[in-house]
Structures are given as structure tokens and as C-alpha cells.
Amino acid sequence: MIQKATDIQKTGAKAKIGCCGFAVSQAEYFRLFQLIEIQQTFYQLPQLKTAERWQQSAPQGFEFTMKAWQLITHEPISPTYRRLREKIEPSRVACYGSFRSTDEVIEAWRRTAQFARSLGARIILFQCPASFEPNRENIANMQKFFTTIDRQGFCLAWEPRGAAWSSELIFELCRNLDLIHCVDPFKDKPQYGNFHYFRLHGISGYTYRYTDQDLQTLMAWVREKPTYVLFNNQWMKENALRFMELIEQQGASC
């Protein structure tokens, strides 16, 4: 029988495994897993009563993490804004995204944090688009944003996208700004954090189905330190359950 919380007994590290979004009905998901990363909050923050309902429906010990609202990280030219229900005035388009020090971005953070509190989420992920490059302006925006916002006890993770960000710069920013470096471990190595936060997007793309050999490789990385493992591919439910099963078998043999 698959356990909801899994210990890697050889090292004492713990892995929490789940999916990016409800891969099945909420009732079934809560039965199968003890972790989820909420995706909906990236596109449009739901009403607070939705967060409260999810939190109250979850079993004891269940953990929510969530993506920060795209108004903080992405500019309105991003196609993801098509799913934004709130209207952006044309004259204010330049005030959104890229961690800008604007009233709009700060308000988006305030509402993100408010939703996270209602949900009981401790970890908030800031996922950046590949167009967010390591230029002087973007780095300065990040530094000001993360050193001036009220973190309210949250643990903040950052997932840079694109090859332009060097490992050295990622390490420096995460260390100085107290961020967990979020990665897909099959594509990059985590540079900073007292735990891993892995998002698995599929080795060759969203339709990729991880093999047992892939999952054994993943298990070796998980042994390094406590790890959040979140599958974000077409086979996320099956892959997450299989990985839990493999870890359970590994623990039973130790």
C-alpha cells in the first residue's frame, strides 16, 4: 500500500510527491497524495473562499504549495494573460511583470500572499518566462522586490527559465535573496536551498512518460536532502504514484 508521506530511510531525508494541479478529481487526489502545487493561482487568483474550501477539504497533513500570480513575473505580452479575467488598462501595461517596483506588482503580491495564507500554503513559487533574461534591470528588479516585500513567513522558490542564467548568478541571487532554486533536475542542477524543489516537465516535453530507470535516477537526487517532487507532464498522476511506489520499496529494503 502506498504511503502518503515517504521517508528515505538511508539518509533520513524525506520526499513529498505530488502533481502540478489536480490530475484527477479533488476527492481522489486527496486520497492518493499529500502534496499539490496549485497552478490556477498563476493565471488568475481565485476567490479566497475557494482557498478556504480546498484547505478544509484536504486531509490532515496535506500540503499545498502554489505559483505566484503572473502579474508579478510575466509581462502582459505573455500568452498566459489570455486566461486573466481582470482587465488591464492599456495605459498601465508597462506596470506589470518582471518584478517591477510598481503599485500593480506589489498589489499582486499582497493578493498572492493573502490567498496563500487562506490556503495554508507555506511555499510560493515564482516561475519566470524564458524572456526574463539576466540583464541589469531584471536583476535590480528582483533584488528590490524580494528585499522589500513582506514575506510573512513564507518560503519563496524561484524557477528561472532559459539558458541565459548562469549557475553562478542563480546561486548568488538565491543566497542573497533567500530563495530556493526550483529546477527540473533532468535539465538543470539546483544551486541553492536547504531542500530541493523539483518540477518535472518531461524530459522531451509535456507528453513524456518517465521510465522506471528515470525514476531511479530521480531517487538518487532525492536522497541528497529533503525534496518536493512535483510532476508536471501528461502522465503526472501515473508517474507520481509509480515514484512513490519505488521509494516505498526502497525504504522497505533498508
- Helix, strand, coil percentages in the chain from 3-state DSSP, rounded to 5: 40, 15, 40
Residue 54 maps to a domain: yes
Per-residue pLDDT reduced to its tens digit, 131-171: 999 999 999 999 999 999 999 899 999 999 977 899 999 99
- Return the residue matching grid coordinates 531525508: 13
Domain contains 192: yes
Check whether 3 has a pLDDT greater than 50.
no
pLDDT score for 223:
87
In the chain, how many domains are there?
1
Q: Given this model, what pLDDT does residue 44 score?
A: 97
For residue 250, the model assigns a pLDDT of: 78
Residue-range definition of the domain harbouring residue 144: 6-252
Query: What is the rounded average pLDDT of the residues 197-216?
Result: 96
What percent of the chain has pLDDT above 90? Answer: 88
Reported pTM: 0.91
**Is residue 1 situated within a structural domain?**
no
User: What angle in degrees, to the nearest 10, is found between the helix axes of 48-57 and 103-119?
Assistant: 30
Which residues of 130-223 form beta strands (DSSP E)? 155-159, 180-183, 196-200
Q: Evaluate whether 233 touches 202 at the Cβ level (below 8 Å).
A: yes
Q: Is residue 180 part of a domain?
A: yes
* Gap between the Cα atoms of 71 and 22, Å rounded: 23
Summarize the confidence of residues 30-57 as an average pLDDT: 97
Give pLDDT, residue 248.
Answer: 87
Residue 37 β-bridge partners: 20, 65
| Of 3-17, 68-82, 148-162, the least confident | 3-17
**Residue 74 belongs to domain with CATH number:** 3.20.20.410
Residue range 15-37: mean pLDDT, rounded: 96
For residue 12, what pLDDT band results from cuts at 50, 70 and 90?
Answer: very low
Q: What is the mean pLDDT of the chain?
A: 92
